[in-house]
Amino acid sequence: MLALAACADLPRVDLGDIAGVGEIARLAATPAVVVPSVTPTAAPPTVSTAALVKQRAKIRVGIRYDAPPLSRVNADGELEGMDVDLAREFARRWLGSERNVEFVQVTSQSAPGKVKNREVDLALGGLIHTRPAETEADFSLTYLYDGEALLVRAGAFADFPSLAQRTVTYIDFPSAAALGDAQIASNITVSLQVRNSYRAAVNDLLAGATDAVAGRWRRLRATAASDPSLAIATVFTVEPVAIMLPHDDSDWADLVNLTLTAIIADGTFGELHQKWFGAPSDPVETIAQPVALQLASLPDSIALRDGLSVIRQSGVLRVGFDPQAAPFSVANANGEPEGYEVELVREIARRWFGNPAQAQFTPLPADQFASALAGGTIEMAIGGVRRTGANERAMDFSITTFSSGGVPLAIALPMNDSALRDLVNFTLQDMWADGTFARTFQKWFPDQPITPITPWPGSGPSVESLMAGN
């Protein structure tokens, strides 16, 4: 029924040009120019990324060569794209010149390892924040969304179900898989045909030889922006795009995230998005009340933390809570903690230890959270803690659990402790997937829209295996 027999013998994908009009029509990657991979001697884990960058006076950036319009090699053999420009903007703001950057070719598969081994200081080029990659690298704020989408002639089809019994063209297997899932969910069938390039598929669409093209959202929306006769009919999957960063280096992550926030706030990001996508950028979450941060001010060493080992050995989760931060956390008449975040943490403890009572709460003023986390007397802190620039420089944070007037609130965590943060975030992701997060949110905020958690694609390690140290 799914007409997916051809998927087993897909042709080699040709990342040729996207059909369209004007400069944006030249968005697909040409054959990649091979640059020798940089394999420096691995830096000791306590040496900061900032120290390495300051020493060489250049940022070493891993970049995909095949992710238009974010990154590609043009006909002249030059790197171009929005993410290429973004990396050069980082170099300009941190080191005084956009020339102070070295690009190293990576793929979606090789990037996590190169970041983990510190062969590059950061990696980008349409890299998706996936669950498997999270165990090897950290990620910046999400600055774009990609996924699988459907391109049609404008006005021809309103949505996917309206394409029943019509012809849909795909280029690679992920698109075919998304179409298969969509057919099952919509209880319809479409006639699938395969083409070996976006250019050929879009040419077929313009000529009326197919009714729709399934492919990567970032590519198709750029094509639609360049040609008013085309439009996005639906988006099958939404995947967060972010910058890949080394584990356990919170100061470097702060520099990237605060700079990215400044680039978005001053309009530079919007200009880059307009240049490469032909359309305004979508709103994304940034750090509230950002503070100015310079590369030169960052420390040269990292004070590593291992809160997860402490939790495994003690069998308890020590939590600081603000007793006067209702409805997030409050001490009730009996002096016991309750509130939205208290309930989230108890559910986290239940999933980690099998017993919510293994979360031990200590009342603390909010201005003591950072010192208690740094001193190791608690493993997390709650009480409506806002992700502001000042707080970001003193603590790390989980996935956003509440948004107040556009200001993200989250569980505060120790700096330089990626393993603990991963475990917290994987647990919150699982709670979102099974509906626990939404039910808890609605219980405490029945009149407010649920703050969504964007799922990280892929099947990474389970919470149980991480707790077991596997």
What is the model's pTM? 0.89
8 A C-beta contact, residue 451 and residue 444 = no
pLDDT at 37 (0 to 100): 53
pLDDT at 36 (0 to 100): 53
Q: Given CATH 3.40.190.10, say whether it is the number of domain 49-145+241-297.
A: yes
What would the pLDDT profile of 74-116 be if each residue is shown by its tens digit?
999 999 999 999 999 999 999 999 999 999 999 999 999 999 9
Of 139, 57, 122, nearest to 83 by C-alpha is 122
Percent of the chain having pLDDT more than 70?
91
pLDDT exceeds 70 at position 143: yes
**pLDDT range class, residue 470, cuts 50, 70, 90:** confident
Domain ranges of the chain: 5-26+148-237, 49-145+241-297, 307-468
Helix axes 340-353, 436-444, angle to 10 degrees: 150
Tokens 């099952």 identify what position? 184
Higher pLDDT, 435 or 38: 435
pLDDT exceeds 70 at position 325: yes
pLDDT exceeds 60 at position 54: yes
pLDDT at 39 (0 to 100): 57
pLDDT at 87 (0 to 100): 98
Q: How far apart are CA 451 and CA 159, in angstroms?
A: 26
pLDDT at 15 (0 to 100): 31
Higher pLDDT, 114 or 35: 114
8 A C-beta contact, residue 373 and residue 395 = yes
CB atoms within 10 A of CB 408: 21
pLDDT at 119 (0 to 100): 96
What would the pLDDT profile of 55-75 be if each residue is shown by its tens digit?
999 999 999 999 999 999 999
Which DSSP category does 388 fall into? B
pLDDT exceeds 80 at position 387: yes
Alpha helices in 267-368 (DSSP H): 268-277, 307-314, 340-353
pLDDT at 43 (0 to 100): 83
5-26+148-237 and 49-145+241-297 agree in CATH topology: yes
Give the DSSP per-residue string, 139-186.
E----EEE-EEEEEETTT-SSSGGGTTSEEEESSHHHHHHHHHHHHHH
pLDDT exceeds 90 at position 40: no
pLDDT at 63 (0 to 100): 98
Q: Given CATH 3.40.190.10, say whether it is the number of domain 5-26+148-237.
A: yes
Averaged pLDDT of the chain: 91
Of 89, 26, 20, 24, nearest to 277 by C-alpha is 24
Superfamily of domain covering 307-468: Periplasmic binding protein-like II (3.40.190.10)
